[in-house]
Amino acid sequence: EAAVTQSPRSKVAVTGGKVTLSCHQTNNHDYMYWYRQDTGHGLRLIHYSYVADSTEKGDIPDGYKASRPSQENFSLILELASLSQTAVYFCASTAGTGTTEVFFGKGTRLTVV
């Protein structure tokens, strides 16, 4: 079973502080993604990556940076956290070829106060 692990699972951050959300996958997948989910809404794509040391902007990248130091790890960075970034964040991965199923982590609940 493919595995995507997110840490932390929950975090409270102070407005203006720096936040780093981590994602680790053991699927040997090339593609990784960061989504955010707001209460009562679907997921929206923030950043994604298809190879180590390279990231791409998704649909809502403003206020976020991403880092892909290795194939297995993909981080989402909030340099200056704001109240509007309170949400649940999901990491996902998928293979570059073959199976197209997307595997999601269990999410990180971020509360900015």
Partner 1 sequence: AQSVTQPDARVTVSEGASLQLRCKYSYFGTPYLFWYVQYPRQGLQLLLKYYPGDPVVQGVNGFEAEFSKSNSSFHLRKASVHWSDWAVYFCAVSMDTGGLSGKLTFGEGTQVTVIS
Binding site for partner 1 (CB under 8 A): 4, 30-33, 40-45, 48, 50, 58-59, 90, 92-97, 100-102, 104-107
Q: How far apart are CA 52 and CA 61, in angstroms?
A: 19
CA-based Rg of the chain, rounded to a whole angstrom? 13
Smallest distance from partner 1 to CB 99, Å: 9
Closer residue to partner 1 (CB): 58 or 67 = 58
The encoded tokens of residue 94 equal: 């998928």
Strand partners, 35: 45, 90
3-state DSSP assignment of residue 84: helix
Closer residue to partner 1 (CB): 2 or 13 = 2
Smallest distance from partner 1 to CB 40, Å: 7
Closer residue to partner 1 (CB): 6 or 85 = 6
